[in-house]
Each structure stands twice: as structure tokens, then as C-alpha cells.
Amino acid sequence: MREFRSEAIVLRHLDYGEADRIVTFFAPGHGRLRGFARAARKSRRRFAASLEPFASVILHWSPARSGGLVTLKEAELIDLRVGLRADLPAIALAGYACELIEALFAEEEAQDQVYELLRTLLDHLSSRGGTPLARLLFELRLLNLSGYIPHLLHCASCFGGLPGPEVRFAAEKGGSLCPACVGKGRSVAVSLLTVGSISRILRGPLSIFAEIRLSPRTLAEGERLVADTLRCHLSRPLRSTGFLDQVLPFSASGEVV
Ligand SMILES: [Zn+2]
């Protein structure tokens, strides 16, 4: 039978029976897959301690027979990301990032840029810990890759310019709105400077987390804008957000006005 070998990131795992494990992983060129690792908790020779969430590994697997789980044969550890495991905000953000990818992308959707974004986020969390800025950068870039990024620098309704300095934003209407189009209904207030900064971030490389600085206002408004956009596109709240909001709260109120 054909066998695959690829670098991958473990998104999560579930213990099964006495010693087996079901592992959800993300591999470039393959997308997100679920694999069955027989005797994973006993076989140190085949799997060692490598099937831990957020670890980078080399995985060997054979394909699923009929759309079910692939069969994991062997795993070699590349990086367990020990630094991440000592920092609660980093653990919470890593778990949230993995769940958000699962919510926005289908299984086996080969999104190599998403893989690269996750890998660089996890490396950043491992060396620098979790911060509200890292969360925002990840969310914005992931929304962009998923095609859900809203209109920012022009009105989502009439495509006209935005006079500023304040803009109303409503994800369910497609993004920023000019005064003539805002109408009634829920929207959040953001400054034109914030939508400009976000657009610049989205034009920049995916992999830079450490060198980006945002003013407290831009960070708070960016959080509000992203929260509104995710609310619009997620069919249900994510399990990981409760823990994340506890250990890494929003930098300011994400309230919708
Ligand atoms: Zn308009």
C-alpha cells in the first residue's frame, strides 16, 4: 500500500481504548487529516513522545480505506516546542489557533500558507509567549487566507471612499461603511487609521510576529473588528475561547456599540 511521509503539526489528540490514540494533524500538501495511531501510548519506538499537540513532527502514514482515519505508522519528533508549554497564554492561544483552523477550513484542504502561518505562530509562542497582539495578527491573517477578510479601505456597500476619521464597521454587511450606507443595525466604531494599519499588516509577510507594533487603540479596535467578523462566519462558539479569554483577555472592551 502507498505510504506518505511528511512534516506535520499535531493539532490535537484523543486517547482511544487502552493504548491507542486518534491524532488530528496538519501536513503541507495534504491539509488537515485524522490518523489512528495503534498502541501510541505504549510504542515508544514508533511514536516516542512526539504525538503531542503543537509539536512539529515527521509522520509516516498510509491512506484511509474509505474516507475515514489514515493509519499512522511512525512519528519522528522535530520540535516539541517546550517553551510554549510553560506559558499559559501561549498554550491557550495555540489551542485556539488550531481550533480556529479546524473551524474555517475543511479536512484535506491543502492550505500550505495556513500551515506556514500556524508554524510561525507556534514558534513565536514558544520563544516569546502569548500576547493579545499575536492573537490579533494570527486571526487577521487566517481570515485573509480563508477569504473572509472584510472590505476595509472602501465602503463595502457602495465601494466609495471613507471620509474618516471614524469609520463604522459591520461584518454582516461586508466590512467598513461610509456615512451614507451605514444605516441602522449593529456596527462597531473604528478609526480610519486602524483599518489602514490592518490593511498594511495583511499586505506584509505572514511569518512576522515579533517586529510588529500597534498602538493600544489600534490593537483594541482591531480586536473588535475581528471579533465581529468571526461572529459572522463561525457557526458556533469555539470550545477554546473560554480558557483563552481567561488567561489572555482582550486588551480593551470588545463590546459592539
Ligand atoms: Zn457607502
* Ligand 1 centroid from CA 80, angstroms: 49
Which helix (H) or strand (E) is 167 found in, with range? strand 166-170
> 199 near 152, Cβ under 8 Å?
yes
Distance of CA 157 from the midpoint of ligand 1 (Å): 5
**What is the per-residue pLDDT across 46-64, written as a single tens digit (0 to 9) for each?**
887 789 999 999 999 999 8
Span from the CA of 174 to the centroid of ligand 1 (angstroms) = 11
Cα 158 to ligand 1 centre (Å): 4
C-alpha torsion angle, residues 61, 63, 66, 70 (rounded to 10): 20
Over 90: is that where the pLDDT of 142 sits? yes
Provide the mean pLDDT of the chain. Answer: 92
Q: For residue 81, with 0-12 CB atoms within 10 Å meaning exposed, 13-18 middle and 19 or more buried, which class applies?
A: buried
Q: Is the pLDDT of residue 107 over 90?
A: no
Tell me which residue of 162, 234, 228 sits closest to 195, measured CA to CA.
162
User: What are the chain's domains?
Assistant: 4-80 (2.40.50.140), 83-150+170-247 (1.20.1440)
The alpha carbon of 182 and the centre of ligand 1 are apart by a number of angstroms equal to: 7
Strand pairing of 56-62 and 31-37? unpaired
| Ligand 1 midpoint to CA 166 (Å) | 14
Q: What is the pLDDT of residues 169-198, one digit of tens each?
A: 999 999 999 999 998 888 999 999 999 999
